[in-house]
Amino acid sequence: MATADTYGLDVIPGFRGELIRQDHPDYDEARKVWNGLIDRRPSLIARCTGPPDVAAAVRLGRQRQMTVAVRGGGHNVAGTAVCDGGLVIDLSPMKRISIDPVACTAKAEAGLLWGEFDRECQRYGLATPAGIVSHTGIAGLTVGGGIGHLMRQYGLTCDNVRSMQVVTSDGDLVRTSSADEPELFWAVRGGGSNFGIVTSFEYRLHRVGPSVLAGLVLYRADRAVEVVRMYRDFVAEAPRDFGSVVSFRTAPTLAWIPQELHGQPVVALTVCYTGPPAEGERLLQPLRRFGPPAADLVRRQPYVDLQALFDATVPHGWHYYWKSVSLPPLTDAAIETLATVAWRKRSPRSFIMLFHKGGAVRDLSEGAMAYSGRDAEHELNINGVWTAEDSRQEDSDWVRKTFEQMSPHSTGRAYINFLGDEGRQRVRAAYGAAKYQRLVQLKRRYDPDNFFRLNQNINPSD
């Protein structure tokens, strides 16, 4: 496979952005991604300023038969935003955003991070469903689905996309929506980066904030079974404007967490209620009084603060290894298994997260778009986290064993954004046989040579 160095490229025809080669002083910083386990050395990084730069870089990659990676926020756990010896098409400088507060829409370029997007939207008291870490890029999360605090009320992130601008594998810029290139629109909402490079999104916005009733309710780990059973019964009747995530973790040493809990194993219920405050106080009483908890940190707070709540526990540069499963409503056996395996980890940074779905996620049919798993009640994400300095506490084995023990309780599916480098069978399983075959057919139409293959790949030869 040819590289940029093979041809001694100093320019890309039609490209106006910045080119970073291996002798550039910013090269080592530019090739870093969120996951510190990933250490790859591309031959050329093309930092794009707009769609024409993206198209020019795609045409170069095709002409030179280069391995091509696409970078938005660089937050993918598998590290597919960077490659060895090839070309990185870097969208991170593309951060233009415009908001129409009357129509409740936002047009946003693919280099934006969710924290940047949320801050602009909250100037008007608006938001769209997003993830739960503010330094995640909008692009990768959206094309993979997008689960978070608001999904039960307003659906997934991809459900709220009205249109996209996409550069295809031929270097053409096309608009796609329910009316324009509808098959491509179907595929990109959940099919990841397999079908082209999305350069901008048009999102539907909703009235949220500027403050919400949200925060953590912490319980000590020895009460995990009874707490999660209580939680299961509570969420079965919860209204749509209530979102929640359960974490099994070691309490971090953050200033807003009571000092007596620092370093202690806890079950953390993260809640978000976007309705009337008085109604929220009444609704949340069973969660906040059960036990009672070791700490109740729920309060009225800015929506942007809630979105950044977990940032300090997943910073850039730490080492991350994930596996995940989709779950039906929790059985007693599943709860007991979780409570048994959650704290067998070695690193205090490792954790498990359980996202509650339902509500508006199920308003659309399973066939509405490429995203799969609307029938799942929960998404379980098993996070092995450690640093280079404490590598003796690597938790990849714990992640794999936990995955094996939770798999019998799963639906057999997985959320595509939570997959690591796990092979073709896991990608097929994530979509299911029928939907995967439709995606293969569309891959043959839009990217028959599998030019966009550094992703959770849908191979046109399947």
Q: Give residue-wise pLDDT tens across range 3-16.
A: 444 445 578 889 99
Query: Would you say residue 2 has pLDDT above 60?
Result: no
Q: Which two tokens stand for residue 381?
A: 């994400």
Asked whether 130 and 150 are in contact (CB, 8 A), the reply is: yes
Using a pLDDT cut of 90, give the percent of the chain over it.
95
pTM: 0.96
Q: In whole angstroms, give the CA distance from residue 281 to residue 278.
A: 5
pLDDT of residue 4: 44
pLDDT of residue 392: 75
Query: Would you say residue 1 has pLDDT above 60?
Result: no
User: What contacts 38, CB < 8 A, 6 or more positions away?
Assistant: 79, 82
Q: Does an H or E element contain 205, and which?
A: none
Q: Residues spanned by CATH 3.30.43.10 within the chain?
A: 17-90
Q: In whole angstroms, give the CA distance from residue 458 to residue 446.
A: 12
**Mean pLDDT confidence for 152-177:** 98
pLDDT of residue 11: 80
Confidence of residue 292 (pLDDT cuts 50, 70, 90): very high
pLDDT in tens, 172-193: 999 999 999 999 999 999 999 9
pLDDT of residue 9: 59
DSSP-based three-state secondary structure for 327: strand
pLDDT of residue 291: 87
Fold of 97-208: 3.30.465
Q: Residues spanned by CATH 3.40.462.20 within the chain?
A: 211-418
Asked whether 161 and 198 are in contact (CB, 8 A), the reply is: no
Q: Which CATH class is domain 211-418?
A: alpha beta
Asked whether 328 and 150 are in contact (CB, 8 A), the reply is: no
Local structure of residue 331 (DSSP, 8 states): P
Region of 432 on the Ramachandran plot (φ > 0 left; ψ -120 to 50 alpha; else beta)? left
pLDDT of residue 82: 98
Q: Does an H or E element contain 374, and which?
A: none
User: What contacts 113, CB < 8 A, 6 or more positions away?
Assistant: 73, 134, 135, 136, 137, 138
**Mean pLDDT confidence for 205-219:** 97
Query: Would you say residue 126 has pLDDT above 70?
Result: yes
Beta strands in 364-424 (DSSP E): 378-386
pLDDT in tens, 225-270: 999 999 999 999 999 999 999 999 999 999 999 999 999 999 999 9
SS (H, E, C) 259-297: HHHCCCEEEEEEEEECCCHHHHHHHCHHHHHCCCCCEEC
Asked whether 414 and 380 are in contact (CB, 8 A), the reply is: no
**Mean pLDDT confidence for 49-64:** 97
Q: Residues spanned by CATH 3.30.465.10 within the chain?
A: 97-208
Q: Which two tokens stand for residue 448?
A: 């028959």
Query: Average model confidence (pLDDT) for the chain?
Result: 95
Fold of 17-90: 3.30.43
Asked whether 338 and 267 are in contact (CB, 8 A), the reply is: no
Q: Does an H or E element contain 70, and which?
A: strand 68-71
Q: In whole angstroms, give the CA distance from residue 195 to residue 453.
A: 9
Asked whether 116 and 95 are in contact (CB, 8 A), the reply is: yes
Asked whether 352 and 325 are in contact (CB, 8 A), the reply is: no
Q: In whole angstroms, give the CA distance from residue 229 to residue 211.
A: 29
Q: Which of 200, 201, 203 has the alpha carbon at shortest distance from 52?
A: 200
**Mean pLDDT confidence for 73-93:** 97
Q: Which two tokens stand for residue 41?
A: 């050395």
pLDDT in tens, 348-407: 999 999 999 999 999 999 999 999 999 999 999 999 999 988 777 799 999 999 999 999
Query: Would you say residue 67 has pLDDT above 50?
Result: yes
Q: In whole angstroms, give the CA distance from residue 363 to residue 375.
A: 10
Q: Which two tokens stand for residue 387?
A: 């640093």
CA atoms within 13 A on the CB side of 133: 18
Q: Which residues pair with 295 in a beta bridge?
A: 218
Q: Does an H or E element contain 152, and which?
A: helix 151-154
